[in-house]
């Protein structure tokens, strides 16, 4: 990438697809998880702030910025569950990296695909620390756009080989099972969430409705499981019955954000939770017994997007999978923006 | 613009230049000011939040979101005064509009040029309410990238025909004077800020250094002038001596942001200031006497960028000055993001 001050590398949806195909989706998930882990191990270096949300009846639009002091990154992400009715995606996202010394953007990228990959990579990375040893079966409740990514990441990073699928729309489960053919994952379509959790050591909930839902009730959760609660990620949007939370050891990304958005919005503001970064760093315990119920109250944090954008950027030079975007004004004399504008 | 779900209209620097040329820079400033005024007159409809800043030694990167409930907008903007030493812009910016009902982006646009235009339009709009009647002479202290835009907007909207330029680098003043030739504005280059303010009814300060500077001292400010303080817009970055503030009636965009970033960061947190929207709505007085010193403590607020982006978007269909950006994933079946990704 040569020096053209006006130009910012842009990773389109098409380029992101090419990149995933070139690397392979499994290695991509693996490498992404490793990048996220590396950044969680230097957690103190990041400026952290709860994301900035604009809510409407239909959904939410969020900005998620962070910086490690050298590079700045942010993601724009929207979540509108009813979109699928009109053929649109629930989630749209894009993100940017820039240079903290100059403020100049370094890369703009689509992030709808990248968010799906990073969310799954983060879930599986967390389960590597928290799930019971030897777990090979996972219930996946909610079989929308995120479900296959979760299944693949858990196969790659945790060793899950069997998934038990349930969705209130059977067609979604069938789509998920179809997509998982040939991946080495055995998919079973279940008729209820109760059936899906049977024999599962890991339970992933990844539904989209913006409401207080009860995807999992207390009686469905036996001792020793790991719950990967992905869908409850917004004020007024939860998936688990409160009693499950009270029986679980709860692990979170960034408490000030999760208290507002996660399952724990149902609990007192001082209910004990454990920071994932401290578990990864070996400073706090993860799972401490076979009987313990561990719960990753996933909402998605800016550092994960930062890691993902940096990972993508690291591949640009070798793959050339980007376009050049004329995003920045570049007058010959930096003080002469007006002259540049008015010039021919 | 036909319905292609993956595509977002993108206004590049080149397209923005074309748009300004097509409309003409003076009508553009005029229409932009009118759009901003309209939005300030419906101020209560906006979600307002102080911008989210990431500071470094060299500068700041900010995200500025807002929504009127129907449309969402945000701007990314960086300010790095030392950039000019290496031939880069102090400010880089781009922005986005999206649909609150779906979260789908409606337009991505360069905003380095657009920010320069909107900042000047906002300054002049404010002066229309606050400057002494018949003001025709303006001091412009700091003759960098923003200076010509200020001069033109004040000519167009306030009736200023004479500008008195001062910059610590004479070459900047010469550049500004040269650019203003043929615009109907008479430019005089001055040797000091003191000289520039002589005979000026309006004083614009628009310097870039990130520090507590004293561009104007108390003795330079006579009764009855309007001060348009544009450059002090970040914690630790001010331009006016505190005593000037204490003698002035101070007008601001959004107090929670200006208290942190504006000249008034030098004052007590409860020092009285007047919201500009209430002046525009006729609910609060603007200038009340010929002797009064009025001060617009400008920092730039998200609503102004929102107005500007909407203005630009309103011109796209008729001008065609945009490109199509492959920013959004668009699977045939919205739940089948994975299938789209893995498909050929």
DSSP string across B256-290: HHHHHHSGGGGS-TT---EEHHHHHTTSS-S--SS
pLDDT in tens, B283-298: 999 999 999 999 999 9
* Residue A80: partners with Cβ closer than 8 Å, 6 or more residues away: A58, A59, A60, A88, A90, B101, B102, B103
**Chain A residues 230-269 with a CB less than 8 Å from chain B:** none
**Euclidean distance between CA atoms A79 and A64, whole angstroms:** 13
Helices B302-314 and B25-40 pack at an angle, to 10 degrees, of 120
**Euclidean distance between CA atoms B26 and B212, whole angstroms:** 33
Residue with more model confidence, A3 or B240 = B240
pLDDT computed for residue B210 by the predictor: 66
B89 and A330 within 8 Å at the Cβ level: the answer is: yes
Q: How many CB pairs under 8 A join A and B?
A: 229
**Euclidean distance between CA atoms A199 and A290, whole angstroms:** 15
A61 and B17 within 8 Å at the Cβ level: the answer is: no
Q: Which of B261, B207, B239, B232 is nearest to B64 (CA)?
A: B261
**Euclidean distance between CA atoms A306 and A69, whole angstroms:** 12
A49 touches chain B (CB under 8 A): yes
**Euclidean distance between CA atoms A137 and A298, whole angstroms:** 20
* Closest residue in A to B83 (Cα–Cα): A102
Q: Widest CA span of chain B, in angstroms?
A: 73
**Chain A residues 126-185 with a CB less than 8 Å from chain B:** 143-149, 172, 175, 179
Strands A293-297 and A226-229, by their bridges, are parallel
Q: Looking at B39, B167, B233, B305, which residue is catalytic?
A: B233
Q: What would the CATH number be for the domain defined by A122-300? A: 3.40.50.720
Q: Which two tokens stand for residue A137?
A: 């079966």
**Residue B341 three-state SS:** helix
Cα angle value A268/A269/A274 (rounded, 5°): 105
* Closest residue in A to B66 (Cα–Cα): A54
**Chain B residues 118-137 with a CB less than 8 Å from chain A:** none
Give the start-to-end residue ranges of the domains of chain B: 7-113+303-342, 120-300
A338 and B116 within 8 Å at the Cβ level: the answer is: yes
Q: How far is B108 from chain A (nearest CA, A)?
A: 10
**Residue A180 three-state SS:** helix
A334 and B78 within 8 Å at the Cβ level: the answer is: no
Q: Which of B127, B123, B126, B114 is nearest to B142 (CA)?
A: B123
End-to-end CA distance of chain B: 27
B303 touches chain A (CB under 8 A): no
pLDDT computed for residue B217 by the predictor: 92
**Euclidean distance between CA atoms B335 and A156, whole angstroms:** 22
Q: How far is B285 from chain A (nearest CA, A)?
A: 32
A334 and B65 within 8 Å at the Cβ level: the answer is: no
Top-tier CATH class for B120-300: alpha beta
Q: Which two tokens stand for residue A240?
A: 């688990």
Rg (alpha carbons) of chain A, rounded to whole number = 21
**Euclidean distance between CA atoms B308 and A105, whole angstroms:** 21
B309, A84 Cβ separation under 8 angstroms: no
pLDDT in tens, B80-133: 989 988 989 889 999 999 999 999 999 999 999 999 999 999 999 999 999 999
pLDDT computed for residue B72 by the predictor: 98
Chain A partners within 8 Å of B89 (Cβ):
328-331, 334, 337
- In angstroms, the Cα distances linking B180 to A114, A179, B147 are 47, 63, 10
Q: Which of A17, A54, A337 has the CB atom closest to B116's CB atom?
A: A337
Chain A partners within 8 Å of B112 (Cβ):
328-329, 337
State which H helix or E strand residue A318 sits in: helix A302-319
pLDDT in tens, B43-71: 999 999 999 999 999 999 999 999 999 99
B3 touches chain A (CB under 8 A): no
How are strands ordered across the β-sheet holding B186-189?
B186-189, B162-166, B137-141, B202-205, B226-229, B293-297, B248-252, B274-275
**Residue A226 three-state SS:** strand
Q: How far is A131 from chain B (nearest CA, A)?
A: 25
A60 and B103 within 8 Å at the Cβ level: the answer is: yes
B332, B8 Cβ separation under 8 angstroms: no
- Whether the predicted pLDDT of B2 surpasses 70: no
User: B9: which strand partners?
Assistant: B324
Mutation site for A-interface testing, chosen from B22, B84, B327 by largest number of A Cβ within 10 Å: B327
Q: Which two tokens stand for residue B134?
A: 């018949």
Chain A partners within 8 Å of B327 (Cβ):
12-13, 94, 110
A90 touches chain B (CB under 8 A): yes
- The backbone torsions φ and ψ at residue B34, rounded to the nearest 5 degrees and listed phi first, read -65, -40
B334 and A88 within 8 Å at the Cβ level: the answer is: yes
Query: What topology is assigned to A7-113+303-342 in CATH?
Result: ornithine cyclodeaminase, domain 1 (3.30.1780)
Q: Say if residue B134 is exposed, middle or buried (CB neighbours under 10 Å; 0-12, 13-18, 19+).
A: exposed
B233 counts as catalytic: yes
- The backbone torsions φ and ψ at residue B163, rounded to the nearest 5 degrees and listed phi first, read -120, 145
Per-residue confidence of chain A (344 residues) as pLDDT tens digits? 446 788 999 999 999 999 999 999 999 999 999 999 999 999 999 999 999 999 999 999 999 999 999 999 999 999 998 998 998 988 999 999 999 999 999 999 999 999 999 999 999 999 999 999 999 999 999 999 999 999 999 999 999 999 999 999 999 999 999 999 999 999 999 999 999 999 999 999 999 776 778 889 999 999 999 999 998 778 888 899 999 999 999 999 999 999 999 999 999 999 999 999 999 999 999 999 999 999 999 999 999 999 999 999 999 999 999 999 999 998 888 889 999 999 85
B9 touches chain A (CB under 8 A): no
């Amino acid at each position: 990438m040569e020096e053209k001050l006006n130009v910012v590398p842009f990773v389109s949806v098409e380029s992101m697809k090419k990149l995933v195909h070139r690397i392979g989706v499994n290695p991509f998930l693996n490498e992404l998880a490793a990048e996220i882990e590396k950044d969680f191990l230097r957690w103190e270096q990041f400026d952290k702030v709860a994301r900035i949300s604009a809510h409407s009846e239909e959904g939410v639009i969020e900005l998620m910025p962070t910086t490690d002091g050298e590079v700045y990154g942010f993601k724009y992400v929207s979540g509108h569950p009813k979109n699928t009715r009109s053929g649109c995606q629930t989630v749209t996202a894009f993100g940017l990296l820039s240079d903290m010394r100059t403020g100049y953007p370094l890369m703009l990228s689509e992030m709808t695909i990248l968010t799906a990959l990073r969310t799954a990579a983060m879930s599986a990375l967390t389960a590597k620390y928290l799930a019971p040893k030897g777990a090979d079966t996972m219930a996946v409740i909610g079989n929308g756009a995120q479900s296959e990514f979760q299944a693949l990441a858990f196969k790659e990073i945790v060793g899950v080989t069997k998934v038990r699928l349930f969705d209130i729309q059977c067609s979604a489960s069938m789509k998920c099972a179809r997509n998982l053919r040939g991946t080495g994952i055995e998919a079973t379509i279940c008729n209820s969430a109760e059936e899906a959790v049977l024999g599962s050591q890991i339970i992933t909930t990844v539904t989209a409705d913006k409401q207080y839902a009860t995807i999992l009730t207390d009686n469905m959760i036996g001792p020793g499981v790991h719950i990967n609660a992905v869908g409850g990620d917004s004020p007024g949007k939860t998936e688990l019955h409160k009693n499950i939370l009270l029986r679980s050891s709860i692990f979170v990304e960034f408490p000030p954000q999760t208290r507002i958005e996660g399952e724990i919005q149902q609990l007192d503001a001082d209910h004990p939770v454990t920071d994932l970064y401290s578990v990864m760093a070996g400073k706090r315990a993860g799972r401490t017994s076979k009987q313990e119920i561990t719960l990753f109250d996933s909402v998605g944090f800016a550092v994960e997007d930062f890691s993902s954008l940096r990972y993508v950027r690291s591949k640009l030079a070798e793959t050339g999978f980007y376009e050049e975007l004329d995003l920045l004004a570049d007058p010959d004399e930096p003080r002469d923006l007006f002259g540049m504008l008015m010039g021919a």
